[in-house]
Structure 1
Amino acid sequence: MDKIDRLVNLLKRLNSEEITESLKSEALKMVSSVDPLELSLAEQKLIEDGTKPEDLRHLCDIHMEVLKSELDKLKLKLSPNHVLTTLIEEHDEILKLLSLLEELNAKIQTISKYDKNIIEFNNLLKTIDSIIDAENHHKREEDVLFPELESRGVTGPTRIMRMEHDMLRNKKHEIRNLIFKIEAMDFNQFKTSLDEAVKYLVFNLRDHIYKENHILYPSSIETLTDSTLWNQMKEECDKIGYCSFTPGK
Structure 2
Amino acid sequence: MSEIINNREYRQKVLKELITELHNGKSAEEVKERFAKLIEGVAPSEISEMEQALIMEGMPIEEVQRLCDVHAAVFKGSIADIHAAEVKKAEEIEGHPIHTFKQENRGIESLISKNIEPHLEALKKDDSKDIIYKLIEDFNLLYDIDKHYSRKENLVFPYLEKYGITAPPKVMWGVDDEIRDAIKEVKRLLINYNGDKESIACKASETLNRVKEMIFKEENILFPMCMDTLTEDEWFKIMEESDEVGYTLIEPKTRWKPERVSLSKEKTETVNESEKEGYIKLPTGFLNVKELAQMLNTLPFDITFIDKDDIVKYFSQSEERIFARTKAVIGRSVANCHPPASVHIVEKMLEDFKSGRKNHEDFWINMGPIFVYIRYFAVRDENGEYLGTVEVTQNIKPIQDISGEKRLMSE
1:81 to 95, 100, 103: 95
* Residue identity in the other structure for 1:90: E
* Residue identity in the other structure for 2:89: L
1:205 and 2:211 correspond: yes
Residue 153 of structure 1 deviates from its aligned partner by 1.1
Q: Is this contact kept in 2: 1:93–1:246, CA < 8 A?
A: no
**Which residue matches 1:115?**
128
* Residue identity in the other structure for 2:181: N
SS of 1:163 mapped into structure 2 = helix
**Which residue matches 1:32?**
none
Deviations, residues 32-54 of structure 1 (Å, cap 9, x unaligned): xxxxx9xx999546xxxxxxxxx
2: CA distance between counterparts of 1:218 and 1:159? Answer: 17
Q: Is this contact kept in 1: 2:108–2:249, CA < 8 A?
A: no
**Which residue matches 1:166?**
177
1:155 and 2:166 correspond: yes
1: CA distance between counterparts of 2:106 and 2:27? Answer: 27
1:192 and 2:198 correspond: yes
SS of 1:109 mapped into structure 2 = helix
1:104 to 119, 126, 146: 119
1:134 and 2:145 correspond: yes
Aligned pairs, how many? 185
**Which residue matches 1:7?**
none
Residue 158 of structure 1 deviates from its aligned partner by 0.9
2: CA distance between counterparts of 1:71 and 1:202? Answer: 26
Q: Is this contact kept in 1: 2:108–2:142, CA < 8 A?
A: yes
Q: Which has the higher helix share?
A: 1
- Say which structure, 1 or 2, has more relative contact order (CA 8 Å, 6+ apart): 1
Residue 223 of structure 1 deviates from its aligned partner by 0.6
* Residue identity in the other structure for 1:220: C
Q: Which has the higher strand share?
A: 2
1:242 and 2:243 correspond: no
SS of 1:77 mapped into structure 2 = helix
**Which residue matches 1:216?**
222
Deviations, residues 192-235 of structure 1 (Å, cap 9, x unaligned): 221221111111111111011111000000011x2122111111
* Unaligned stretches of 5+ residues in structure 1: 1-36, 46-59
Deviations, residues 117-137 of structure 1 (Å, cap 9, x unaligned): x3x222211211110012111
1: CA distance between counterparts of 2:192 and 2:244? Answer: 36
Deviations, residues 64-96 of structure 1 (Å, cap 9, x unaligned): 8x999x868623234211111101110111111
How large is the Cα RMSD of the aligned pairs?
Answer: 2.9
How has the CA–CA distance of structure 1 residues 97 and 42 changed in structure 2, closer, same or farther, with 3 Å as cutoff?
A: farther
1: CA distance between counterparts of 2:252 and 2:210? Answer: 23
* Residue identity in the other structure for 2:148: H
**Which residue matches 2:136?**
125
**Which residue matches 2:3?**
none
* Unaligned stretches of 5+ residues in structure 2: 1-17, 31-72, 255-411
2: CA distance between counterparts of 1:73 and 1:151? Answer: 21
2: CA distance between counterparts of 1:67 and 1:93? Answer: 26
Runs of 4+ in 1 over 3 A off after TM superposition: 40-45, 70-73, 244-249
1:92 and 2:92 correspond: no
Q: Bigger radius of gyration, 1 or 2?
A: 2
The percent identity for this pair of structures is 24
- How high is the TM-score relative to the length of structure 2? 0.41
How has the CA–CA distance of structure 1 residues 67 and 210 changed in structure 2, closer, same or farther, with 3 Å as cutoff?
A: farther
Residue 103 of structure 1 deviates from its aligned partner by 2.0
- How high is the TM-score relative to the length of structure 1? 0.65
Q: Is this contact kept in 2: 1:89–1:246, CA < 8 A?
A: no
2: CA distance between counterparts of 1:42 and 1:215? Answer: 22
Structure 1 residues 176-191: aligned runs within 5 Å? 176-182=187-193, 185=194, 187=195, 189=196, 191=197
